[in-house]
Amino acid sequence: TKRGLLPAGVAFVVFSSYIEYGNQPQTFEGKAKDPLPEFRLGFHVVGGVGTNKEGELEDYVQDGFCPTINAFDCKLSTNEKARAVAYFNAINIAPKGTHFIQKLGTLYTVEIKIGKNKKSGKDQNEIDFRNLQPAVDAATRKPYTTYCNAADEVVPLGVVKPEDVKVIAFVTNGKTD
């Protein structure tokens, strides 16, 4: 089941997929560049409430269905200005890790906005994953260390632990043989 436009607000999300595509062809201003590895981050929305286009409050999770949201494909780069570095810095909350995979299963909050697609003019969700924040226990003011930790301890209000959320990591060296 796929969910359409999500309401605007702050959602609880669990980092649930990291897919690495291996080296991909690159171009700049129409000219071929050296291939670079690319990846995509994916998250399940597991709680929170937003405001829909009609101005009404709406739960992100409905009837136990946790929608997925994904970052755009991204070049795997260690340049300090690269989007990959910004994503990693946002994801790498305590305890610190050295790779995205180590943070799979971690619970965050992220702002979801509603904007217009520049080409079609249709409404679409806009999410800046560089602005992920740790999901914090309101009583202790400490971040939940993992999604499982949050679900096993005191679950944040409105956060569900769906049975169908699986954590996925797929890494390839780009070879198919």
Task: Using the CB atoms, write b or e for 47-85: b if 16+ within 10 Å.
Answer: bbebeeeeeeeeebbeeeebbebebeebebeeeeeeebe
Question: What are the pLDDT digits (tens) for 4-39?
Answer: 899 999 999 988 888 888 888 888 899 988 888 889
What is the per-residue pLDDT for 151?
45
Q: What is the pLDDT along the chain (177 residues), one digit of tens a residue?
A: 467 899 999 999 988 888 888 888 888 899 988 888 889 999 999 888 999 999 999 999 888 888 999 998 888 888 888 889 999 999 988 778 888 888 888 889 999 999 999 999 999 999 999 999 988 877 777 776 555 544 444 445 455 555 555 555 555 555 444
What is the per-residue pLDDT for 155?
47
Q: At 150, phi and psi to the nearest 5?
A: -65, -45
Cα–Cα distance for residue pair 83/104, rounded to 1 Å? 18
What is the per-residue pLDDT for 150?
47
pTM, full prediction: 0.79
